[in-house]
Amino acid sequence: MNIDPKVLCGQTNSHIYWLESNKLGVHRDVVEPLKKLKEAASLAGFELSLCSAFRSFDFQLAIWNAKASGTRPVLDSQSRLIDISKLAPRELMYSILRWSALPGLSRHHWGTDFDVFDLKQMPKGYQLKLVPEEFEGEGYFAPLHSWLDVNLSQFGFFRPYAQDLGGVSPERWHISYSPLAQKYCRALKLETIQEVISSTQIQLKDSIQEALPEIYERFFSRISQV
């Protein structure tokens, strides 16, 4: 399958269908599977909503640079704020990678991956945080995700970050459309992202380039299969 590297790395949105209701973008081939999943969730009493879908390379780069420069918070594996002034550049890079993908290696570039929650259960005025406490135990969105545990695969979706495999922190809210996302994952090679990063104005660039093979394996290739 020949896939445009610009699609793989988020440098184009030519593959994206924009949802009218909230301007979120999804891959045009995922529109129908996502619609069916939402309809089934609705019948079960949930309002499955997206809070994040397609992200461009530039958008992900802005997130990365804001965290690296200290204008956006960096959290540890327990969702606690890190004082980045105490971190060496390489330590800061790995801390960012626990929660934020390297630009060019984000699954959100493909429009196949979404962060989802139950809008019906979100209190008025509540600011969504995307932390484990919201999606587990007594969390607002835990019932929806318990339903997804049973039903997600029937519609072709899975959670790439269901488990802590030593790379990205577990993200119960993150779902992916497997038939397409797996093809994109295989198609995006280390050499492609090396070329992209080399021509990008990104914070911590020296540390990134030095560790890129490990970043590719640990924070991109290493995913759950459930």
pTM for the complete prediction? 0.95
Q: What is the mean pLDDT of the chain?
A: 96
pLDDT above 90 (res 194) = yes
β-strand pairing of 48-52 with 157-158: unpaired
Residue from 226, 202, 2, 17 nearest 105 by CA: 202
In tens, the pLDDT along 23-40 reads 899 999 999 999 999 999
φ, ψ (nearest 5 deg) of residue 92: -65, -40
- Are 141 and 128 in contact by the 8 Å Cβ rule? The answer is no
**CA end-to-end span of the chain, whole Å?**
24
pLDDT confidence band for 60 (50 / 70 / 90): very high
pLDDT above 80 (res 22) = no
Fold of 5-221: Muramoyl-pentapeptide Carboxypeptidase; domain 2 (3.30.1380)
Q: What is the pLDDT of residue 69?
A: 96
Residue from 55, 62, 53, 52 nearest 10 by CA: 55
Domain boundaries, the chain: 5-221
In tens, the pLDDT along 210-224 reads 999 999 999 999 999
- Are 172 and 198 in contact by the 8 Å Cβ rule? The answer is no
Q: What is the pLDDT of residue 72?
A: 96
Q: What is the pLDDT of residue 135?
A: 97
Between CA 147 and CA 204 the distance in angstroms is: 40
